[in-house]
Amino acid sequence: MEKQPMSEAMYYVLLALMQPDHGYGIMGHIRELTGGRVVMGPGTLYGILTRLRAEGFITLKEESDRKKTYEITQAGRDALISEYRRLKRMVSDGDILEEVQ
């Protein structure tokens, strides 16, 4: 079966976790990275962190008080790079649109 494309939210969370970070830090990082275009809610982020952890794309780096710091795993890096390449190819395939415009 073909792999499902990654959601936008998952893509950005993995991207943000190229540097280990905790939940609120991830949200800030994504906002900064997208120039405020993507404002991730805490419900969405918690759901994605839980799912990515279950799929082995991220792992718990450290835990203090009520905060957990996550980092991306090798499987997560591979999935992210694979998605990046897919998106890049899709954009390049769409070059024809430049001529239409």
Partner 1 sequence: MERRYAFQPGDYAIGENEKFYSDMAERGWSLMKRGRWLSRFKRVKPEKTIYRIELASPRIFEDKGLPEEKLSLFEDCGWEFVTSYDLINVFRAPDGSGAPEFYMEPEQQAETLRGLRRSYLSGIAFALAIIVVYTLIFAAMSGGINEFLSSFWEEMLVAAVEETAMLALCTLIIAYGVWQSLYGAVRTAILYKRLRRGEPLDHSPKNRRIGHKVISGALLCLCAVSAALCLVQYIGVDRYKLPQVSDGPYITLEELGWKGERDDPFGNEQEVRVSTSILAEHWDVNEYLLDGDGGVWIYQDIYRLRYPGMCTDLAQAIMCSATFSDMENFVPISIEGADAAWYTRLETVAVCDEYVIYITYSPGTIEENAMEDAARAVGAIISRVTL
Return the sign of the alpha-carbon dihedral for residues 24, 50, 84, 77: positive
- Minimum Å gap between C-beta 96 and partner 1 is 29
- Minimum Å gap between C-beta 72 and partner 1 is 18
- Minimum Å gap between C-beta 86 and partner 1 is 20
The DSSP annotation for 80-98 comes to HHHHHHHHHHHHHHTTHHH
Tokens, residue 77 = 């890096």
Helix (H, G, I), strand (E, B) or coil at 15: helix
- Minimum Å gap between C-beta 47 and partner 1 is 6
* Residue (67 or 86) nearer to partner 1, CB: 67
* Residue (63 or 78) nearer to partner 1, CB: 63
* Residue (15 or 45) nearer to partner 1, CB: 45
* Residue (39 or 91) nearer to partner 1, CB: 39
> Hey, how many other C-beta atoms are within 10 angstroms of the C-beta on 97?
9
**Contact residues for partner 1 (CB under 8 A)?**
9, 23-24, 27, 38-47, 65-68
Please answer whether residues 55 and 6 qualify as being in contact, where contact means their C-beta atoms are separated by less than 8 angstroms: no
